[in-house]
């Protein structure tokens, strides 16, 4: 994997909107939070465009990303929010430009489409981390500042991730390149030129929100039938908020444990990244991680994502 340059204090961070529009007040709060962290947020006025449920025309959204990649003053890109629309920009993005500039790119949720494009199609490490309006806009209740800053500024591994709510669903230990994101987007990519097509032995990160248990079952079963799940050495689930069946059971945790009962490697549940009930942790994608599933479950990032 190619790695982005580590960020420094005062570096410009371009805010881009590849998916849905957002509330202006939340965006402005997120900008203030980026400044508090020591970065210099910048954005194209087109970030405020609206076209129904997406933030402007697909070509314009993609051009804003490409412009930030080409701009030597910009060191990183962070998305305004998720929602829907990132997949529409993929045909307009250049693999060569992404590889040549290899800048820090931070996002989650619908932006999984771009994170997968960067890691799978481009071979560039990126970050499953907060959005500006959706997470930073809520201050430190919405994101974990320590993991964000360390992940993008320190050319050393994050090491043990402080995730006290982790549960072991299947015991074991495995290592591999950490890849994945929101389950809906991973499944939706299959059969397209931008398919999630990870290498043998990778570690699968699965995030999701608001999908009922039978839908989780359906999507995980599709990954299994497509041969994607069988390549994984381990699986790490996020908190999956809003995914329990209304009124009680089955829960999301029980459902994924049942679907993966024959999976041969370790399975963990409850990593607070992406969609969370508390501060969202930043986790690098495209770097090696070790999964320890036992009485003291752990996710250990063994490789730096920046250089």
The answer to whether residues 268 and 240 belong to one domain is yes
Q: Contact 280/108 with Cβ under 8 angstroms?
A: yes
The answer to whether residues 164 and 139 belong to one domain is no
**The pLDDT value given to residue 82:** 97
Distance between CA atoms of residues 14 and 258, nearest Å:
42
- Structural domain tally of the chain? 2
Residue from 125, 96, 123, 93 nearest 16 by CA: 93
Q: Has residue 226 been placed in a domain?
A: yes
Q: Has residue 3 been placed in a domain?
A: no
Distance between CA atoms of residues 215 and 25, nearest Å:
34
Residue from 187, 196, 256, 258 nearest 231 by CA: 196
Neighbours of 24 (CB within 10 A): 10
Q: Largest alpha-carbon pair distance within the chain?
A: 53
Residue from 293, 305, 279 nearest 236 by CA: 293
User: Which of the four pLDDT bands, split at 50, 70 and 90, describes residue 297?
Assistant: very high
User: Which of the four pLDDT bands, split at 50, 70 and 90, describes residue 209?
Assistant: very high
Q: Contact 240/109 with Cβ under 8 angstroms?
A: no
The answer to whether residues 166 and 291 belong to one domain is yes
**Helix-strand-coil split of the chain, %, nearest 5:** 35, 25, 40
**The pLDDT value given to residue 43:** 97
The answer to whether residues 60 and 131 belong to one domain is yes
* Residue 193 in this model has a pLDDT that exceeds 90: yes
The answer to whether residues 17 and 143 belong to one domain is yes
What does the pLDDT look like over 252-296, one tens digit per residue?
999 999 999 999 999 999 999 999 999 999 999 999 999 999 999
Q: Has residue 107 been placed in a domain?
A: yes
Q: Average pLDDT in the 55-72 region?
A: 98
Residues 69, 70, 75, 77, Cα dihedral to 10°: -30
Q: Has residue 49 been placed in a domain?
A: yes
The answer to whether residues 130 and 51 belong to one domain is yes
**The pLDDT value given to residue 249:** 86
User: 17 is written with which tokens?
Assistant: 């909107």
Q: What is the CATH number of the domain that holds 277?
A: 3.50.30.60
Domain boundary among 153, 172, 194: 153
The answer to whether residues 140 and 185 belong to one domain is no
The answer to whether residues 139 and 180 belong to one domain is no
Measured in whole angstroms, the distance separating CA 77 from the mean position of its chain's CA atoms is 13
- Mean model confidence pLDDT for the chain: 97
**The pLDDT value given to residue 5:** 98
Q: Strands across the sheet with 288-293, in order?
A: 159-160, 298-301, 288-293, 172-182, 203-207, 234-238, 267-271, 167-170
Give the rounded percent of residues in the chain with a pLDDT score beyond 70: 100
**The pLDDT value given to residue 247:** 85
The answer to whether residues 17 and 127 belong to one domain is yes
User: 38 is written with which tokens?
Assistant: 């020591």
User: Which of the four pLDDT bands, split at 50, 70 and 90, describes residue 62?
Assistant: very high
Q: What is the CATH number of the domain that holds 144?
A: 3.40.50.10740
The answer to whether residues 44 and 120 belong to one domain is yes
Q: Has residue 112 been placed in a domain?
A: yes
Q: Contact 213/244 with Cβ under 8 angstroms?
A: yes
The answer to whether residues 40 and 138 belong to one domain is yes
Domain boundary among 153, 188, 214: 153
Is 212 buried (19+), middle (13-18) or exposed (0-12) by CB count in 10 A? Answer: middle
User: Which of the four pLDDT bands, split at 50, 70 and 90, describes residue 130?
Assistant: very high
Q: Which domain holds residue 286?
A: 159-301
Q: Has residue 237 been placed in a domain?
A: yes
Q: Average pLDDT in the 91-100 region?
A: 98
**The pLDDT value given to residue 156:** 96
**The pLDDT value given to residue 151:** 98
Axis-axis angle for helices 213-225, 252-259 (nearest 10): 20
Q: Has residue 306 been placed in a domain?
A: no
User: Which of the four pLDDT bands, split at 50, 70 and 90, describes residue 248?
Assistant: confident
In the chain, beta strands by DSSP E: 12-16, 40-42, 74-79, 104-107, 126-128, 159-160, 167-170, 172-182, 203-207, 234-238, 267-271, 283-285, 288-293, 298-301
The answer to whether residues 71 and 85 belong to one domain is yes
Q: Has residue 106 been placed in a domain?
A: yes
Distance between CA atoms of residues 298 and 195, nearest Å:
29
Domain boundary among 132, 153, 174: 153
Neighbours of 35 (CB within 10 A): 12
What does the pLDDT look like over 131-165, one tens digit per residue?
999 999 999 899 999 999 999 999 999 999 999 99
């Amino acid at each position: 994997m190619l790695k982005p340059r580590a960020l420094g204090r005062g570096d410009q961070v371009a805010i881009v909107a590849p998916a849905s529009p957002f509330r202006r007040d939340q965006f402005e709060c997120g900008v203030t939070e980026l400044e508090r962290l020591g970065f210099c947020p910048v954005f194209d006025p087109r970030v405020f465009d609206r076209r129904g449920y997406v933030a402007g025309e697909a070509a314009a959204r993609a051009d804003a990303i490409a412009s930030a990649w080409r701009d030597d003053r910009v060191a990183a890109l962070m998305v305004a929010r998720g929602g829907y629309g990132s997949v529409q920009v993929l045909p307009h993005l250049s693999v060569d430009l992404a590889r040549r500039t290899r800048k820090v790119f931070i996002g989650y949720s619908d932006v999984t489409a771009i994170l997968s494009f960067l890691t799978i199609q481009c071979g560039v490490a990126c970050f499953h981390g907060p959005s500006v309006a959706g997470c930073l806009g809520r201050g430190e209740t919405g994101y974990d500042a320590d993991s964000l800053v360390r992940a993008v500024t320190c050319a050393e591994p994050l090491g043990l991730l402080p995730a006290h709510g982790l549960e072991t669903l299947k015991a074991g230990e495995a290592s591999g390149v950490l890849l994945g994101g929101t389950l809906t987007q991973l499944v939706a990519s299959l059969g397209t030129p931008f398919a999630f097509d990870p290498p043998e032995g990778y570690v699968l990160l699965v995030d999701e929100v608001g999908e009922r248990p039978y839908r989780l079952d359906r999507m995980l079963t599709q990954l299994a039938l497509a041969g994607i799940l069988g390549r994984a050495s381990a699986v790490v689930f996020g908190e999956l908020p809003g995914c329990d069946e209304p009124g009680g059971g089955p829960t999301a945790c029980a459902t994924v444990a049942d679907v993966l009962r024959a999976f041969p490697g370790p399975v963990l549940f409850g990593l607070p990244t992406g969609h969370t009930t508390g501060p969202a942790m930043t986790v690098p994608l495209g770097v090696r991680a070790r999964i320890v599933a036992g009485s003291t479950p752990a996710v250990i990032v063994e490789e730096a994502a920046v250089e």
